[in-house]
Structure 1
Amino acid sequence: MFLLLLKSLFGLQQGKPYVFDRVLPPNTTQEQVYNACAKQIVKDVLEGYNGTIFAYGQTSSGKTHTMEGKLHDPQLMGIIPRIAHDIFDHIYSMDENLEFHIKVNAGCMECSSCFPSFFLVSKTNLAVHEDKNRVPYVKGCTERFVSSPEEVLDVIDEGKANRHVAVTNMNEHSSRSHSIFLINIKQENVETEKKLSGKLYLVDLAGSEKVSKTGAEGAVLDEAKNINKSLSALGNVISALAEGTKTHVPYRDSKMTRILQDSLGGNCRTTIVICCSPSIFNEAETKSTLMFGQRAKTIKNTVSVNLELTAEEWKKKYEKEKDKNKSLKNVIQHLELELNRWRNGEAVPEDEQISAKDQKNLEPCDNTPIIDNITPVVASISTEEKQKYDEEIASLYRQLDDKDDEINQQSQLAEKLKQQMLDQEELLASTRRDYEKIQEELTRLQIENEAAKDEVKEVLQALEELAVNYDQKSQEVEDKTRANEQLADELAQKSTVLSATQRELGQLQELSNHQKKRATEILNLLLKDLGEIGGIIGTNDVKTVTDVNGVIEEEFTMARLYISKMKSEVKSLVNRSKQLESAQIDSNRKMNASERELAACQLLISQHEAKIKSLTDYMQNMEQKRRQLEESQDSLNEELAKLRAQGTVLDKEKEHLTRLQDAEEMKKALEQQMESHREAHQKQLSRLRDEIEEKQKTIDEIRDMNQKLQLEQEKLSADYDKLKIEDQEREMKLEKELQTLHNLRKLFVQDLTTRVKKVRMHSCHPTYCNPPVHIITKWDLFFNIKSNSMKTIGFGEGGVTTVYLKGYSFALLKP
């Protein structure tokens, strides 16, 4: 009967119920686990029964912790060390007439191949055989007699030292092999000579793994595959035993199931500890583990005591079986008589028919001989015959072991041959698939080759057109470059002229300022002189005509000289200003023309840049296509290399070889053609790149020159604006000065008119007592507003002198 124990189920969602004998939560102590599932088995083993405890579950679910724990820690030690202590405690408390022989061995089953090797402390690969009772055992294993729990723990430590452990993403100390610890206990009663024997298998299985979660690689990945395969063999045995309808149970698929054959459906009391991970991350693995335990719970074992009988017990058993045989023969004889009567057509009454109750009270028939009477009495066997029989039995056992070894070797050889045949079939199938794929790929490559040829032709045509267009554009760029250079030269000349004009304008402005200063000084002197004349006229008494005429004539001569000089200077300034204005207008007109030409050049440059950009993009696209063609060529080369590597396999099929040779020749032709196209394409692309680099350098130079011209133009524009502003300021300043002179003229006219009136009142000549308004005896000074210019007219008829000052005119009359 099985006792299944669920050690650490936690956190699963509600769903399908699973029924087990005991459920232990994660906070269960090691002592509680031992008392629940292992303590009773120790008593059963000491009473002559076989027992097995093994832990099953996924990796990192606590199997090794449950079975071993910390061996030398009283609180955390697992089932195996507690059983060792418990066995000796029971032995010490039993009858003193009992003699015990305890042998132990610790072995590991490495999962590094399809047929795991079983080795003990010596790491020797051992074979599994069967004894005379067809119980599997490991031939040649080293068993050690122990007399204390400490010696048992030493053997366990040696076994753990030989167990391989690796690191995975789910377990830092993941066991890479199955651990099997066997305790063989034989006891004999010294007084009654009664012998009992019991075996206890303590198994720590390697955990099932999901590679996507453990992240196993390399040798660890191979071990994980073999672990899962070994556990799959265990699952197949459990399934076959659980169904109960299959006649064949695959114990021989794995050495582990072969060793545990008695524990699974045989003469053994077995406890399975189902270890589950408490994480919801492992829910699928936990459900699979629970399903395994559910199936295993339905297996039924037939348990019997391993008792070794004495000679008297064997004799009593023989007599008992002999009596039973006699009674059964009597029943057979009566039933045969009854059957004959029925066959002869005779009806047998119910009281004469044999029932189950009457079978024990039947007597032998008279007309039927009893076999036992014929059977001779068993004679006593001599010692020599017994030795002879023992030797024959030993030789037969040796032959049986040899045959078993031969069967194992033949089985392994058959499995290897079967695996090789499967590999060859798979290789043949893969070769056929590869051949079909190669045919399809060859067809596709032929189609792609034709398409590539067409595309290459189109690309070559496009490249030719591009080259022609590029030459045309290059010629246009050269023309525009020359035109731009001419414009740059003209702009430089215009800049030179403009700078010269600006220098001349500056000189003229300085000259104009100097002339204005001199005109201002002359006017100030003139006004001063006129003021003095008016003062003389208003303040002095009337002098003699000769003195007055002399003084006035001198003063007016000086004024006339100053005025004539001012007139010539102002006239030259006006002419120079007109020339400068006309030169500035011409410069502005030329500047505007240069700006328009520069804008046209910039537009042409931007157009050329756009065309060059489009050509560059097109060249990049062609480069990408070339790279794609090169990549396709590389892939074709790789596929060709693969085809060459598979040539050794394809040599077995002549038809395939011929087709592959054709494909290879076609491949070479395609490679040569693609290589020629690629070289031509590469040369043309390199030539176009060189030309594009040269044109790009030319464009960069033109762009730099254009930027310099733009900077010079901006500088000239700024200087022009500055000069224009200065000119406007000068005009405003001149207008202010003229306005000031106009005001002074008004004041001068008013003052002079007043003084002339006073002179008339004091000096009236007798001859001209009643003269006209414009006739004066000596000098008559009058003013008229004539024009905005200044000029001097010499003495004319009648002795009249007319002087025009800007905005005014006055006349001097000589009598």
Structure 2
Amino acid sequence: MSESIKVVCRVRPLNEQEKANDSKFVVSFPGDGDTTVSLGGKIFSFDHVVQPKASQLEVYEVVAKPIVADVLNGYNGTIFAYGQTSSGKTYTMEGILGDPVFQGVIPRIVDDIFNHIYQMDENLEFHIKVSYFEIYMEKIRDLLDVSKTNLPVHEDKDRVPYVKGITEKFVSTPEELFKAIDEGKANRHVAVTNMNEHSSRSHSVLLINVRQENLETQKKLHGKLYLVDLAGSEKVAKTGAEGTVLDEAKNINKSLSALGNVINALVEGSSHVPYRDSKLTRILQESLGGNARTTMVICCSPAGYNEAETKSTLMFGMRAKTIKNLVTVNEEITADEWRRRYEQEKEKVGKSHTIVSHLESELKRWRAGETVNQADWFTENQYAGALDDTRDSTTRSSVPSTPMLDSVTTSTPRSAALTNASPAKNVGDVQLQLLYQQLDDKGDEINKQAETIARLRQQIEEQDVNNSLRTESEGQFKEITALQAKYQSRKDEAKEVLQALEELAMNYDQKAQEINAKAKELEETQETLLLQTSLMHSKDCELSQLKDAHENQKKKYAEMMSSLLKDLIDVGECLNDRITVGLKVFMNFVLLLNGLLF
């Protein structure tokens, strides 16, 4: 069954920051506002438009409620939220867990699934498994077991992608499922940006796998429900991202760009859809153009500050609306069911053989020249009776044998007479019998070819799996080769760095030895200097003592000379002039002597 993806547009109210910045409400809702939204003079139409005043319950009724019943009836379902950062995606998908008014789509789905199960037939047995993972920096990380990182995406025998090695928890109550959700949510990457205090830095995927079995009829159905909260597309200038947050933003925008490329390829009917360009698009492969009933919630900001991003989101939703999914029930057919269907097909074949047998008999009579009364013509009303007459012969692969045809052709005297009288008629019977034999041979050949086709189809599927594994192996081998080359280059660089370090160490040792030698020389020089300083100090002390002694002697000589002069003056007064002259000569001699001494 071909179905279009359902697109629901949700416009949130202005947030506090936008109100504080006096941002204008630039979105309008023309007409009844339930299916159209207007921005910049252009009208966008969707399956449903949720206005800002709508409650979380109203959103759930529109977005998710129909899918719950579909999943329990064996269909696959996907709900994912798309939009710029801070547009309300996580609030739409999760809301406030545990709050009956403000809880989002995921907790309401959990309650609804179990409420449906409790009200269904007691003969139905359900098994529910849950997986929770995120795509962070293009790596799949198990949120229920954080030790599992960079998990690979493989394909099963039906070419359906799945995450290999992901944790699957069996749950039997809503409480157990909520516990798993809380555990995974606590492990998810978030960060603070200018646009959002709790900005999701990864795409999160909650997978609920529901299997049911009818204990009376042994009929088994299984459905998978993907609940996806995409990280928001970002403009670095607005979010102020830097460092690790900037790297996260680059990877987020890259995967969202790959998602846009996939949607464009599906819309344009391209022969190649680039699902393998990112982990996100590979996981959503069944949801976009595959076997799933998909609802996309595009979340928009009404603020004029975000008008460009909102317009881009609306155009993305318009493109996604045209994608067609081929939806089928996932039924596990038992051997008994296969047998029952085989018997039905066998009965149809028997009916066909019966019709052919009667028509051939009638045709044979006409060709023999008989006139077949209208009452003897084979009609649809005689179909049931003919089936009862030939039911026992339906197990054979051929049409009724020649004796049966002979009994039909000899049912009238005229027919018998013509048979005995006309050699050409006998030749015709032989040819007819040969044709019947050829039909039988062709039937056998068709059966053999069908078996061969089935076997070849299985071989092709196995070959596809092998090719897929080979492609993945080649890709991994290339990655390993690149890593080995990178490792070798790093090893060479490390070797060069190590050699440089060794040279530096040797130079360091030499310099250290030189420094030690210089230090010893310095110590010896300091010791010598200390000795010289001590010796000089002692010499200074001796010199000081000598100076003091010299000063004392000088004073004594001065006193002695002064007293001698006084005595000579007194003697001179008593002597005559001659003596005075001699005295002057003596005085000069004394002065000369005094000059020589001092």
Tell me the TM-score range normalised by the shorter chain: 0.5 to 0.7
Specify which of 117, 120, 129 is matched with residue 143 of structure 2: 120
Would the aligned equivalents of 2:143 and 2:185 in 1 still touch at CA under 8 Å? Answer: no
8 Å contact from structure 1 (residues 19, 294) kept in 2: yes
- Unpaired runs of 5+ residues, structure 2, are 13-24, 28-38, 355-379, 384-397, 400-431, 449-454, 486-598
One-letter amino acid of the structure 2 residue matched with residue 233 of structure 1? A
Distance 1:169 1:206 in 2: 15
Determine if contact 2:93/2:105 at 8 Å carries over to the other structure: yes
Q: TM-score, normalised by structure 1?
A: 0.43
Amino acid at match of 2:91: H
Give secondary structure in 2 for the equivalent of 1:35. helix
Deviation at 1:219, TM superposition (A): 1.0
1:206 equivalent among 216, 222, 231: 231
Residue 339 of structure 2: SS of its match in structure 1? helix
2:179 aligned partner: 154
1:309 corresponds to 2:333: yes
Q: Is 1:165–1:173's contact at 8 Å kept on the other side of the alignment?
A: yes
Residue correspondence of structure 1 range 563-712 to structure 2 within 5 A: none
1:362-381 paired onto structure 2 within 5 Å: 367=435, 368-371=438-441, 373-374=443-444
Pairing 1:5–2:31 present: no
Q: State the match for 2:129 in structure 1.
A: 103
The question of 1:410 aligning with 2:474 is answered: yes
Compared CA separation, residues 130 and 151, structure 1 to 2 (3 A): same
Distance 1:58 1:414, change over 3 A: farther
Distance 2:167 2:445 in 1: 47
Match of 1:239 among 251, 256, 264: 264
Aligned to 1:282: 306
Q: Separation in 1 of the partners of 2:482 and 2:318?
A: 34
**Aligned ranges for residues 168-567 of structure 1 at < 5 Å?**
168-244=193-269, 246-319=270-343, 367=435, 368-371=438-441, 373-374=443-444, 404-411=468-475
Q: 1:24 to 1:420 in 2, by over 3 A?
A: farther
Q: Secondary structure at the match of 1:163?
A: coil
Q: Which digits, 9 at most, give the CA deviation of each residue in 1:763-811, with x for residues without a partner?
A: xxxxxxxxxxxxxxxxxxxxxxxxxxxxxxxxxxxxxxxxxxxxxxxxx
Go from structure 1 to structure 2 and tell me whether the alpha carbon gap of 1:292 and 1:315 turns closer, same or farther (over 3 Å shift): same
Q: Deviation at 1:405?
A: 4.8
Question: Deviation at 1:323?
Answer: 7.5
Q: 1:273–1:415: structure 2 CA closer, same or farther, 3 Å change rule? A: farther
1:674 matched to which residue of 2? none
Contact 2:143/2:188, CA 8 A, preserved across alignment: no
Query: Is residue 108–residue 159 contact of structure 1 (8 Å, CA) maintained in 2?
Result: no
How far did 1:401 drift? 6.9
Report if aligned partners of 1:44, 1:51 keep a CA contact under 8 Å in 2. Answer: yes
- The answer for the alignment partner of 2:97 in structure 1 is 71
Deviation of 1:322 after TM superposition, in Å, equals 6.3
The answer as to 2:40 corresponding to 1:27 is: no
User: What's the CA shift string for 1:376-421, capped at 9, x where partnerless?
Assistant: 999xxxxxxxxxx9xxx99x97x98776455224335658999999
Are the counterparts in 2 of residues 208 and 228 from structure 1 also a CA contact under 8 Å?
yes
CA offsets, 1:220-255, max 9 Å, x none? 1111011000001111111111111x1111111111
1:438-493 CA deviation, whole Å, 9 max, x = no partner? Answer: xxxxxxxxxxxxxxxxxxxxxxxxxxxxxxxxxxxxxxxxxxxxxxxxxxxxxxxx
Q: Which has the larger radius of gyration?
A: 1
| TM-aligned CA distance change 1:413 to 1:167, over 3 Å | farther
Q: Which amino acid aligns with 2:307?
A: E
CA shift at 1:178, angstroms?
0.4
Where 2:46 maps in the other structure, the secondary structure is coil
**1:173 partner amino acid:** H
Q: Secondary structure at the match of 1:301?
A: strand
Greater helix content: 1
- Measured in 1, the distance between the counterparts of 2:141 and 2:274 equals 19
Q: CA deviation at 1:315?
A: 2.3
Q: Distance in 2 between matches of 1:104 and 1:329?
A: 51
Shift of 1:75: 1.2
Contact kept, 8 Å, 1:185 with 1:198, in 2: the verdict is: yes
User: 1:499 matched to which residue of 2?
Assistant: none
Task: Indicate if the aligned counterparts of 2:191 and 2:199 stay in contact, CA closer than 8 A.
Answer: yes
Contact 1:56/1:204 (<8 A) preserved: yes
Match of 1:133 in 2: 158
Distance 1:253 1:325 in 2: 48
**Contact 1:101/1:186 (8 A) holds in 2:** yes
CA distance in 2, matches of 1:177, 1:222: 12
Which of 176, 190, 193 lines up with 1:165 in the alignment?
Answer: 190
Instruction: Name 2:15's counterpart in structure 1.
Output: none
Letter in 2 for 1:301: N
What is the CA-CA distance between 1:312 and the residue it aligns to?
2.9
Q: 1:213 to 1:311 in 2, by over 3 A?
A: same
Q: Is the 8 A contact 1:129 1:401 kept in 2?
A: no
In 2, distance between residues paired with 1:227 and 1:216? 12
Alignment match, 1:516: none
Find the aligned partners of 1:136 and 1:323 in 2 and give their Cα distance: 38
Percent identity reads 61
SS at 1:188 equivalent: strand
Query: Using the alignment, how far apart are the partners of 1:377 and 1:279 within structure 2?
Result: 67
Q: Could you tell me how far 1:260 is from its partner in structure 2?
A: 1.2
TM-score under structure 2 normalisation? 0.57
8 Å contact from structure 2 (residues 123, 215) kept in 1 = yes
* 1:418–1:285 distance in 2 versus 1, CA, 3 Å: farther
Output the amino acid matched with 1:241. L
Please tell me whether the aligned partners of residues 118 and 127 of structure 1 are also in contact (alpha carbons under 8 angstroms).
no
Aligned counterparts of 1:19 and 1:376: Cα–Cα separation in 2: 52
Q: Is 1:16 the equivalent of 2:42?
A: yes
Query: How many residues are aligned here?
Result: 374
Cα deviation, residue 370, structure 1: 3.2
Alpha carbons of 1:288 and 1:14: their partners in 2 closer, same or farther (altered >3 Å)?
closer
Amino acid at match of 2:228: V
Find the counterpart in structure 1 of residue 69 from structure 2: 43
Amino acid at match of 2:79: I
